[in-house]
Amino acid sequence: MVDVKSVANPLFLREEELRQAIEMLFFAYRDFTGGPDGMLAEIGLGRAHHRVIYFVGRNPGITVSELLKILRITKQSLSRVLSHLVEEEYITQTPGERDRRQRLLTLTVKGVELERRLTADQRERIADAFRKAGADAVQGFKLVLHGIIDAPDRDQFDVSGGPTHLPAARSGGKLVGSKIAGGKR
Amino acid sequence: MVDVKSVANPLFLREEELRQAIEMLFFAYRDFTGGPDGMLAEIGLGRAHHRVIYFVGRNPGITVSELLKILRITKQSLSRVLSHLVEEEYITQTPGERDRRQRLLTLTVKGVELERRLTADQRERIADAFRKAGADAVQGFKLVLHGIIDAPDRDQFDVSGGPTHLPAARSGGKLVGSKIAGGKR
DNA sequence: TTTTTACGTCAACCATGTTGACTTACTTTC
DNA sequence: GAAAGTAAGTCAACATGGTTGACGTAAAAA
């Protein structure tokens, strides 16, 4: 009974380690979304609104169908949330120039303000965790998360290890936060 | 326009890096839950059932109130899901021995079977990511996730870096996957 | 004996996801 | 120029899983 640790079956170790990861992911995500959820509730919005505001803020001028692909929900589902955000003037819709069927989505000043407040909470949490864990750990964190994400979407993330580089991701006014731009799905 | 990278404002770099982390967490969680969701749908269960089955499997004999604290939902919410799982014989309830008001929850054989199938999918995804990323990255991943989790819950996770040790976490038949055992909340 | 605790239940409501059918406007293709 | 395809929206019905509030029962603790 004493030597369990040293004699332990490596398969069991692995199982234990994987379960630990599963649980950490669960708790981390729960706490990660907890902050914004509170703020949103105060102004009568929900997590779904947050997601829309986030990705529109990240990709100004994004089309509805691009947004749908990122969120992986139906247009009817998005519609409820989006039209509310438009009514409340967090988001504006402008017809596409090249294709006038499109409604390009952009945050209003009010929308940017809210986005900033919501994301600040999450950024702070992540920044604290990064600071405590150190640069190497951050790199490992990204590498593992990268591997967890399904192939089509993970490619958008630079995980090469060097300092994060910038406008590459934004070049040509194309999408960030989604690999839709130029890629078939 | 050329030197943007090297002259870049470190605050902007930081912002970019943090947003990347936010998005990776979003996508990783989405894909991480996608597999089980599919299986569950086939047998008329949802993600909420999965969470209950997972934590009961992880903590055989857990009480209802302990489970509530892990899940952070109301008892009415849990009730719907839990009573369904009891009816369908995934979970059994037995009165506590020391305190007969308690209903101790345990997976049935059928429940264990389902839990195994659901978790296998997630374990595989994580294991693949771990394998691709390497041991150091795994350690960094855990360290950062640890920092993201709120103080009360994060303590249950051993993130010290050595090989995962085992029955410490299970000693005395107390809780795993929650720090409730013996701690005031 | 009284109070507190663990658990359960009924009822109403809300947020957010789904499917399916249909419309409108615009672009693309033959 | 007509036909087909695409972007977006709409209406309706439904499912899941969260919430609050009120109330009940049995057992433990004070």
On chain B, the residues whose CB falls within 8 A of the CB of A71 are none
What crossing angle do the helices spanning B47-58 and B64-71 adopt, rounded to 10°? 120
Extents of the domains making up chain A: 4-133, 134-185
**Interval B116-170: pLDDT, tens:** 999 999 999 999 999 999 999 999 999 999 999 998 889 889 888 765 444 444 4
**Interval A96-152: pLDDT, tens:** 999 999 999 999 999 999 999 999 999 999 999 999 999 999 999 999 999 999 988
- What is the spatial distance between Cα A118 and Cα A9, in angstroms, rounded to a whole number? 45
Q: Is A166 on the interface with B (CB under 8 A)?
A: yes
Name the residue among A159, A15, A112, A34 with its Cα closest to residue B73: A34
Fold of domain B4-122 = Arc Repressor Mutant, subunit A (1.10.10)
- Provide φ and ψ at A101, rounded to 5°: -80, -25
**Interval B12-64: pLDDT, tens:** 658 899 999 999 999 999 999 999 998 999 999 999 999 999 999 999 999 99
**Helix locations, chain A, DSSP H:** 4-7, 10-42, 47-58, 64-71, 75-87, 109-133, 135-148, 151-154
**Angle made by CA atoms B80, A48, A170, in degrees to the nearest 5:** 145
**At B156, is the secondary structure helix, strand, or coil?**
coil
Beta-carbon contacts of A161 under 8 Å, excluding residues fewer than 6 positions away, are A139
Q: CA of A58: which chain B residue's CA is closest?
A: B19
Chain B interface test: which of A13, A20, A70 (most B C-beta within 10 Å)? A20
Chain B interface test: which of A3, A9, A25 (most B C-beta within 10 Å)? A25
What crossing angle do the helices spanning A47-58 and A64-71 adopt, rounded to 10°? 120
Q: Structure tokens of B118? A: 């659901």
* Predicted confidence band of residue A158 (pLDDT cuts 50, 70, 90): confident
Beta-carbon contacts of A76 under 8 Å, excluding residues fewer than 6 positions away, are none
The top-level CATH class assigned to A4-133 is mainly alpha
Name the residue among B30, B105, B9, B13 with its Cα closest to residue B66: B105
pLDDT at B11: 63
**Are A144 and B164 an interchain contact pair (Cβ–Cβ within 8 Å)?**
no
Judged against a pLDDT cut of 90, whether residue A37 lies above it is answered with yes
User: Which residue's CA shows the smallest distance to C1' of D28?
Assistant: B99
Residue B91: strand pairing partners: B107
Is there a contact between A53 and A90 (Cβ–Cβ < 8 Å)? Answer: yes
**Interval A39-96: pLDDT, tens:** 999 999 999 999 999 999 999 999 999 999 999 999 999 999 999 999 999 999 999 9
Judged against a pLDDT cut of 80, whether residue A171 lies above it is answered with no
CB count, 10 Å around CB of A76? Answer: 7
Strands A103-107 and B91-95: unpaired
